[in-house]
Amino acid sequence: MIKPHGSDTLNPLYVRDDKARAELMKEAEGLPSIVVCSAAAANAVMMAGGYFNPLTGYMNRADALSVAEKMETASGLFFPVPILNVVEDASAIQGAKRIALKDPSVDGNPILAVMDVEAIETFTDDEMKMMTDKIFRTDDPEHPGVKAFNSVGKTAISGPIQVLNYSYFEKDFPETFRTAYQIREEMGKLGWEKVVAFQTRNPMHLAHEELCRMAWKAVKADGILVHMLLGKLKKGDIPADVRDACIRVMAEKYFEPNTVLITGYGFDMLYAGPREAVLHALFRQNTGCTHLIVGRDHAGVGDYYGPFDAQTIFDEEVPKGALEIEIFNADHTAWSKKLNKVVMMRDVPDHTKEDFILLSGTKVRAMLSEGTAPPKEFSRPEVAQILISYYQGLEEKPEIKMGKHSG
Is 208 in a helix, a strand, or coil?
helix
| CB contact at 8 A, 310 and 271 | no
Q: How confident is the model at residue 406 (pLDDT cuts 50, 70, 90)?
A: very low
From 138, 167, 196, the end of a domain falls on 167
**What's the rounded mean pLDDT across residues 384-396?**
88
pLDDT of 395 reads: 60
CATH number of the structural domain spanning residue 31: 3.10.400.10
Of 110, 132, 167, the residue that ends a domain is 167
What is residue 357's predicted lDDT score, i.e. its pLDDT? 96
Backbone angles phi, psi at 149, to 5 degrees: -65, -35
Instruction: Using pLDDT thresholds of 50, 70 and 90, give the confidence band for residue 141.
Output: very high
Catalytic site residue from 11, 21, 109, 202: 202
Task: Mark whether 304 and 248 lie in a shared domain.
Answer: yes
Quick: pLDDT tens for 70-93.
Answer: 999 999 999 999 999 999 999 999
In sequence order, what E strands does 9-104 have? 33-35, 57-58, 86-87, 98-102
Question: What does the mean pLDDT of the chain come to?
Answer: 94
Is the omega angle on the peptide bond into residue 374 within 30 degrees of 0, that is, cis?
A: no
Residue 407, pLDDT above cutoff 90 = no
Q: What's the number of CA atoms in the CB half-sphere (13 Å) around residue 180?
A: 31
Q: Is 201 a catalytic residue?
A: yes
Number of domains the chain is built from = 2
Q: pLDDT category, 398, cuts 50, 70, 90?
A: very low
Q: Could you tell me if 220 and 142 lie in one domain?
A: no
Phi, psi of 224 (to 5 degrees): -120, 130
145 and 34 inside one domain = yes
Task: Determine, yes or no, domain membership for 373.
Answer: yes
Residue 128: pLDDT band (50, 70, 90) is very high
The sign of the dihedral angle between the CA atoms of 168, 170, 175, 176 is positive
* Active site annotation includes 258: no
3-state SS, residue 173: coil
Q: Does position 129 have pLDDT exceeding 70, yes or no?
A: yes
Based on the domain organization, do 209 and 324 belong to the same domain? yes
Question: In this structure, is residue 402 part of a structural domain?
Answer: no
Residue pLDDT, tens place only, 334-361: 999 999 999 999 999 999 999 999 998 8
Domain boundary among 167, 197, 217: 167
Asked if residue 244 belongs to a domain, the reply is yes
239 shares a domain with 202 = yes
Q: Encode pLDDT of 175-232 as tens digits.
A: 999 999 999 999 999 999 999 999 998 899 999 999 999 999 999 999 999 999 998 7
Q: Are residues 117 and 234 in the same domain?
A: no
Regarding whether 107 and 62 lie in a shared domain, the answer is yes
Task: Please tell me which residue in 201, 284, 329, 380 is annotated as part of the active site.
Answer: 201
Q: Domain of 347: which CATH number?
A: 3.40.50.620
Q: Among residues of the chain, what percentage have pLDDT more than 90?
A: 92
pLDDT value at residue 402: 31
Beta bridge partners of 327: 292
pTM as predicted:
0.93
CA–CA distance, 73 with 60 (Å, rounded to integer): 10
Domain range holding 248? Answer: 176-265+273-393
Shared domain for 68 and 188, answered yes or no, is no
